[in-house]
Amino acid sequence: MNSVSTSQLWSKRALFVGICVVILFFRVLPLNTLPPLWTGPDLLLALTIAWVQRRPEYVPALLIAAVMLFADFLLQRPPGLFALLTVLVCEQLRTGVAGLRDASFAGEWIAAATAIVGVTLLGRAILAMLLVEQAPLGLTVIQMALTILSYPLVVLASHLVFGVRRPNPGADDMAKGRP
């Protein structure tokens, strides 16, 4: 039932890259060139973490590294840093996934929130240590909070639209599962 065929595996990986490209595409559209007072969530990060927690085999580390490095280059971020942090955090989550398998959605959400906060704070700390000019703290905090809040929606969309479900959709999973 839950065997993952090679073609399905690769089509899901391709789907991940496709979604990331679409997200990036909409982020670089020149819709508003005034400096914003607030920011939207970092959907790329939320999506990656959601997929890692749901189906780690769909998002291997190399794929995450490649996509995030590309995003770093495209979005004028310090290249490599956020890719590195995302890969590290995702590996951390991946080792925790086995234990999380039977956990409720709240547990998953807390793990995701920890990961998002970790990426943001570590990124800022490293940039501060290397004396790199940084974005205002307020915007970063808003983005972090919105990313955490958007996580359930990203999971829901992944579940319903993109078919990224836990490997064993048993009855207990459904009962305890998503809100």
Interaction site with another protein (CB under 8 A): 2-4, 24-36, 39-40, 56-57, 61-62, 65, 69-70, 73-81, 83-84, 87-88, 91, 94-95, 98, 130, 132-133, 135-136, 139-140, 143, 167-168
Least Å from the CB of residue 111 to another protein: 17
Closest distance to another protein from the beta carbon of 179 (Å): 25
Residue nearer to another protein on the CB measure, 78 or 107: 78
What is the closest distance, in whole angstroms, from the C-beta atom of residue 96 to another protein in the complex? 12
Q: Nearest to residue 111, comparing CAs of 121, 99, 124?
A: 99
Asked whether 118 and 89 are in contact (CB, 8 A), the reply is yes
Q: For residue 154, which amino acid is it?
A: V
| Residue number with CB closer to another protein (28 or 156) | 28
Structure tokens at 88: 């590290």
**3-state secondary structure (DSSP) of residue 4:** coil
Measured from the CB atom, the residue of 55 and 151 that comes closer to another protein is 55
Give whichever of 29 and 179 is closer to another protein, judged by the CB atom. Answer: 29
Minimum separation from the CB atom of position 17 to another protein (A): 14
Q: Which residue, 178, 85, 89, 170, is CA-closest to 123?
A: 85
Q: Residue 159 is encoded by which pair of tokens?
A: 């579940």
Which ranges constitute the DSSP H helices of 5-136? 6-27, 43-54, 61-74, 81-100, 105-129
For the bound state, the minimum distance from the C-beta of residue 155 to another protein, rounded and expressed in Å, comes to: 20
Residue 28 or 149 with smaller CB distance to another protein: 28
Query: Minimum Å distance from CB 84 to another protein?
Result: 4
For 102, phi and psi rounded to 5 degrees? -100, 5
User: Which CB atom, from 106 or from 138, has the smaller least distance to another protein?
Assistant: 138
Instruction: Calculate ∠ Cα 113-146-179, nearest 5°.
Output: 65
Question: Tokens in use for 41?
Answer: 């969530």
